[in-house]
Amino acid sequence: MQTKPKFDPNSPEIKAYLDDLAHQFVREGTMVAFPTCLPGMTTPIPLDESRITALDINSEGHIYGGTSGRQAHLFGAAFHHLTGIVLDAGTVPGCTSTAAVCCGTSRTIAFMNGPQGGRAVTIPHIKLAEDWIQEWGLAPPVLQELGECVSGEPVVHAIALPSRNTIVGVTTNHLFTMDVESGRIAVVGEAPGRGRLAPGRAGVFGQDDATHLWRFDVSSGRIHRADVHVPDGEWTEPLRWARNRDTGLLFTADATGRLFSFDGNKFRLLGKVHLAPVGPMAVTPDGRLFGFCGAEIANLFCCDTQSGTVTNLGVAASVLEQRRYGYQFGDALTGRDGELVFGEDDNGGHLWLYFPKITSLHT
């Protein structure tokens, strides 16, 4: 009769297994999962209403966002100085998802969807730059509905232009603009909403079909259909974009996980992530591209946009503030000081702050 070997926790095989297990999660840098509240003082956004699907950052470095779920909430957040707060700004009756949040010069506009279609909602400027450690107090912000963007059509995405005075958005079938101060919406014309919009040097780009991008020329107000041919690949999924805010260079990915840069005229293949599809992405000030890839249990990746080298950094995990795994994310942006902020698209969603590993300086 065969004798069962004695378990040895110090054996090379067990040590290798434990080492591999440990390296499945955030191999470099530090992640902090921050709840949707003022910790210890207010309650987070309810579990089934807290899937974070839209983020933007204003000129003060404060973050505004929106959730999706049984009801959609809007919020403001700050993580510098004596802040450390996510403030729930409330809900809009009949809205169950947030498609986009756009920070303007004096206020923020959210684009929310429900059974009746897509509508614009104003979030007033929230005074978040206070001492939120011991001396604080704030009246609840009052949301203002601005009405439907295009009758009967949900909003797919919207972005604020660099001036932060104008917003360009797209519904399922139409492109529209909005003046941030007046709230006036103008329907420009027909354009398919098949993914997120990208603010390029030559205009705003959107996905036209499986082989082309359309371009909206802001100065002339014209939509140029089939303006740019996309490279060979699988372009069957709605596009996501990231933008280097210093150079204006754009980044996207096809359905197989191949990463590309785009300068407004041509694409350049960078590398390929190990899982697909590619989710939200953001660019650090040193030009590195970070994002999540894969369905259900997403992995963080880093792409050196000069060499095209792609590194798998593992599954998101936080051991500071909240001890939590992160599996799905809905949006991403670059924070005030170069940190990355990811919105967790899951029940009980948190804002995840990621502080990448500092790379060595080359002289």
CATH number of the domain residue 286 falls in: 2.130.10.10
Q: Is residue 269 part of a domain?
A: yes
Q: What confidence tens digit (pLDDT) does each residue in 69-98 have? A: 999 999 999 999 889 999 999 999 999 999
Tokens standing for residue 277: 């599809």
Of 277, 270, 286, 290, the C-alpha closest to 29 is 290
Residue 252 lies in a domain: yes
Percent of the chain with pLDDT over 90: 82
Whether 198 maps to a domain, the answer reads yes
pLDDT exceeds 80 at position 19? no
| pLDDT reported for residue 135 | 72
CB 303 within 8 A of CB 259: yes
Q: What is residue 137's predicted lDDT score, i.e. its pLDDT? A: 76
pTM for the full predicted model? 0.92
CA 268 from centre of chain: 23
Residue 270 falls inside a structural domain: yes
Q: How confident is the model at residue 17 (pLDDT cuts 50, 70, 90)?
A: low
The predicted pLDDT at position 353 comes to: 97
**What average pLDDT does the segment 158-171 reach?**
96
pLDDT of the residue at 363:
44
Identify which has the larger pLDDT, 236 or 2. 236
Mean pLDDT calculated for residue range 18-22:
60
* pLDDT per position as a tens digit, 280-326: 999 999 999 999 999 999 999 999 999 999 999 999 999 987 899 99
State which residues form the domain around 299: 29-355
Domain membership of residue 23 (yes or no) is no
- Residue 15 is assigned to a structural domain of this protein: no
Answer whether residue 361 is part of any domain. no
Q: Is residue 11 part of a domain?
A: no
Give first-to-last CA distance, the chain, whole Å.
66
Cα 53 from chain centroid (whole Å): 7
Cis amide bond preceding 277, omega within 30: yes
Q: How many domains does the chain have?
A: 1
Judge whether residue 257 has pLDDT over 90: yes
The mean pLDDT value for 57-64 works out to 96
pLDDT at 240: 97
Grade residue 139 by pLDDT with cuts at 50, 70 and 90: confident
DSSP string, 229-273: EPPSS---SPB--EE-TTT--EEEE-TT-EEEEE-SS-EEEEEE-
pLDDT on residue 16: 66
